[in-house]
Amino acid sequence: MSEFPYERLRRFPDVEASNLQAHDATDLLLVDRGLDLAADRGLTGAEIVVIGDGYGAITLALMDAGMAGLRVHQDLATGRRALAHNAAALGLVRTPDGDGVSAEAEPGRAASHPESGTRFVPHELDAELLTGARLVLLQLPKALAELEEIADAVARWAADDVVLVAGGRVKHMTLAQNDVLTRSFARVQAQRAERKSRLIIADGPRDVPETPPFPVRETHVLTAFAEPVEVTLAAHGGAFAGARIDIGTRVLLDVLDRVPSAGVVLDLGCGTGALAAVYALTHPDARVIATDRSAAAVASARATMAADGIADRVQVTHDDAGSELPDASADVVLLNPPFHLGTSVHTAAATRLFEAAARLLAPGGELWTVYNSALAYKGELTRLIGPTEQVHRTAKFTVTRSIRA
């Protein structure tokens, strides 16, 4: 078997930079241990599940080694598209005309190669992903709540003899992760660190509660409006801030009553959907769209809209920076941009969303943005969107209003 060309993998269409890589040592450890366990257990791919594969390094290396029918769950839309692009670039999957250019594989639809059949099938984090699985390879998530939801899902739906191999960079790993895994598995054993990464092996799935632990829900009463607004937020494990209202979103909510009434309002990078839900509750005639690149966020936002009785009035989509929405289609964009890419601090994530807002806003439309004041985005917003003014400022956060030129 030839050495897999990890160096050829790209992050595209995600942010690419010299300090951002498309694979790490943990991917290599997971592949090596996964192939060893697959050989020991006679697995050829269909009983193997890969979760959290950032840009396809794990999935594609397994495919290159001959595994077929892999089931894959990636949270980010950018990761799903990168996996498809990388698979096509390496010739591991092809479109029916054989041109080597692969569109993003949708959940439940197999990505195939005409000579070797089904190679991998994308799924959401659900029973279809895990039923009958005997080996699960997991890149450890940052949030303990996300790990809890994944561990519960594996214990809930996978085969009784399933082995979960979870890996991460040592500097980001904690004993609390072992504790979380112990709630769902009888045996949890950390392995010796290699190349600054470490694997944790878990097996012996425990009995699970009848009802899955996620999404969680929390009701908030907002008093910054003429009349108090009650909103219930729902959150899956991978949703930022859970069912709480993070401090940046709360600062923008404090001035949301100043945002004009509009025909089409877009919550860009919606998270659990707090901004979209509150705007819809206070503007019943508006068409509201909420979009996020995280599948956990999208599932959370949909659950939020259902909890607040507005699912029929708010469209929630899983997309990369609103890429599937038409140009100049929004009158107002609401945005609380992230400043992290995975475990790296990187402002390029916000820049991509500013650029997306510039494309999506109709002329004269408004972008309302909240950001950490230290990041000083006003100049960039003026350049990319148009005239920008400060609307509100706290000790840590700034809210600006930009008019699309």
pLDDT of residue 216: 98
- Rounded CA separation 240/28 (Å): 28
Describe the crossing of helices 57-64 and 25-41 by its angle, rounded to 10 degrees.
40
Q: Which residues contact 259 (CB under 8 A, 6 or more apart)?
A: 265, 279, 332, 334, 366, 368
pLDDT of residue 12: 92
Going by C-alpha positions, the residue among 307, 304, 281, 264 that lies closest to residue 227 is: 281
- Rounded CA separation 51/144 (Å): 15
pLDDT of residue 20: 87
Q: What are phi and psi of 363, to 5 degrees?
A: -55, 130
Q: Cβ distance 161 to 133 under 8 Å?
A: no
What letters, b where the CB count within 10 A reaches 16 and e where it falls short, cover 236-251?
A: bbbbbbbbbbeebbbb
For the chain, give every domain's residue range.
Answer: 6-205, 216-403
Q: Residue 266: beta bridge partners? A: 289, 333
Report residues of the chain scoring pLDDT below 50.
1, 95-103, 114, 116, 340-346
Helix or strand (DSSP H, E) at 62: helix 57-64
Query: Which spans in 90-167 are helix H?
Result: 127-130, 144-157
Q: Residue 400: beta bridge partners? A: 369, 390
User: How close are the terminal C-alpha atoms of the chain, in Å?
Assistant: 56
Residue owning tokens 């469209």: 315
Looking at domain 216-403, which of 3.30.70.1380, 3.40.50.720, 2.40.50.140, 3.40.50.150 is its CATH number? 3.40.50.150
From residue 203, how far is each of 163, 174, 299, 351 by CA, in Å?
5, 19, 28, 42
Q: Do 216-403 and 6-205 have the same topology in CATH?
A: yes
Classified by CATH at the fold level, domain 6-205 comes out as Rossmann fold (3.40.50)
- pLDDT tens, 167-194? 999 999 999 999 999 999 999 999 999 9
| Beta-sheet pairing, 70-73 with 117-122 | parallel
pLDDT of residue 109: 63
Q: Cβ distance 340 to 367 under 8 Å?
A: no
Q: Cβ distance 218 to 243 under 8 Å?
A: yes
Q: Which residues contact 243 (CB under 8 A, 6 or more apart)?
A: 215, 216, 217, 218, 233, 234, 235, 272
